[in-house]
């Protein structure tokens, strides 16, 4: 991040939360589950699918993981009761991966089991590299008994193509994204184009081997390249979908929708909106400038 953007981010960090909420509300459905239900209903009305996520990561007590699990159950109930077209995304560290791997596995299995009863699906988000192997281990163990669970892979990681070669043998349901965490150069590609090239290479492998791919990007270059692959390989519409974050590049989202591709939007909600919003801000330097302008016009 350049020094000006870095300054803006540091500046935003010292602002009162209610001021930061001015920009956060664009990216977060709200602090309550009913806020997320409302957003998903609106998306569904436009033909867009949802994935709900209760905000929170790296907890410090097992009771917090159990609370996250309860929220996941509530989301699954809400999806069923409101007849929503949506599934649920979970973060392993919000379910105790950083505390006790077996405990975390059990929490996730309960969620996947409940989703199975409801004919729903659980997406396991991918966090930073200390958790990559453990997350794949949880996934492959679950895949022995469940087919309603999938994982995320990150195109910026050098290991990802090899991971996908292995996981394809289990007919894995993927979300492919660039990757959001700061990783060392030894583990991750750093150049914009080399990350894009790896994204396309990994997507090609997923689709060629007949796996389901959630193509999670707002990068119009990658959307175009994905369109090309889908067309060249004659991939049927039930083998892929596009995915975007709530509040980001809505015009591209609507174009993909009107081009007739399935598209899913990630709808985060919860009391922990502040940490999530700070991450979104650090990711997008343009946003920092945006926020600064809105803060001053607000005052």
Q: Which residues are catalytic?
A: 125, 175
Site string for ligand FDA, 209-248 (x = CB under 6 A): -------xxxx-----------------------xxx--x
Contact with ligand FDA (CB under 6 A): which of 29, 152, 188, 206? 152
Do residues 296 and 290 make contact, with C-beta atoms less than 8 angstroms apart?
no
Task: Check residue 284 for interaction with ligand FDA (CB under 6 A).
Answer: yes
Span interacting with ligand FDA, options 35-43, 100-108, 172-180, 267-275, rule CB under 6 A: 172-180
Span interacting with ligand FDA, options 31-39, 75-83, 142-150, 176-184, rule CB under 6 A: 176-184
Q: Which residues pair with 123 in a beta bridge?
A: 89, 150
Question: What whole-number distance in Å separates Cα of residue 271 and Cα of residue 36?
Answer: 12
Rounded CA Rg of the chain: 19
Task: Check residue 262 for interaction with ligand FDA (CB under 6 A).
Answer: no
Shortest Cβ 211–ligand FDA spacing (Å): 17
Question: What whole-number distance in Å separates Cα of residue 189 and Cα of residue 181?
Answer: 12
Task: Check residue 287 for interaction with ligand FDA (CB under 6 A).
Answer: yes
Shortest Cβ 86–ligand FDA spacing (Å): 12
**Residues numbered 50-109 forming contacts with ligand FDA, rule: CB under 6 A:** none
Cβ nearer to ligand FDA, comparing 184 with 234: 184
Cβ nearer to ligand FDA, comparing 234 with 275: 275
Contact with ligand FDA (CB under 6 A): which of 228, 283, 289, 293? 283
Binding site for ligand FDA (CB under 6 A): 125-126, 152, 154, 175, 177-181, 216-219, 243-245, 248-249, 266, 280, 283-284, 287
């Amino acid at each position: 991040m350049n020094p000006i953007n870095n300054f803006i981010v540091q500046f935003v960090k010292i602002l009162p939360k209610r001021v930061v909420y001015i920009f956060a509300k664009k990216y977060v459905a709200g602090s309550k589950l009913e806020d997320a239900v409302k957003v998903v209903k609106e998306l569904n009305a436009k033909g867009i699918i949802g994935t709900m996520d209760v905000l929170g990561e790296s907890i410090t007590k097992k009771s917090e993981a159990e609370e996250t699990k309860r929220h996941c159950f509530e989301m699954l109930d809400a999806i069923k009761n409101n007849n929503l077209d949506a599934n649920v995304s979970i973060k392993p560290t919000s379910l105790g991966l950083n505390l006790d791997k077996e405990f975390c596995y059990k929490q996730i299995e309960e969620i996947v089991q409940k989703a199975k009863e409801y004919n729903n699906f659980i997406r396991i988000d991918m966090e930073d590299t200390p958790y990559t192997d453990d997350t794949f281990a949880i996934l492959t163990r679950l895949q022995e008994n469940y087919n309603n669970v999938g994982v995320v892979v990150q195109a910026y990681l050098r290991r990802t193509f090899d991971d996908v070669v292995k996981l394809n043998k289990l007919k894995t349901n993927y979300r492919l994204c660039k990757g959001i965490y700061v990783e060392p150069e030894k583990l991750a590609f750093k150049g914009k184009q080399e990350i894009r090239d790896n994204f396309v290479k990994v997507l090609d492998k997923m689709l060629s081997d007949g796996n389901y791919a959630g193509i999670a990007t707002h990068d119009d270059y990658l959307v175009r390249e994905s369109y090309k692959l889908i067309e060249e390989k004659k991939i049927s519409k039930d083998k892929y979908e596009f995915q975007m974050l709530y509040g980001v590049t809505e015009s591209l989202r609507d174009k993909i929708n009107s081009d007739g591709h399935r598209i899913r939007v990630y709808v985060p909600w919860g009391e922990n909106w502040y940490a999530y919003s700070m991450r979104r801000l650090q990711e997008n330097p343009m946003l920092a400038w945006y926020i600064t302008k809105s803060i001053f016009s607000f005052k």
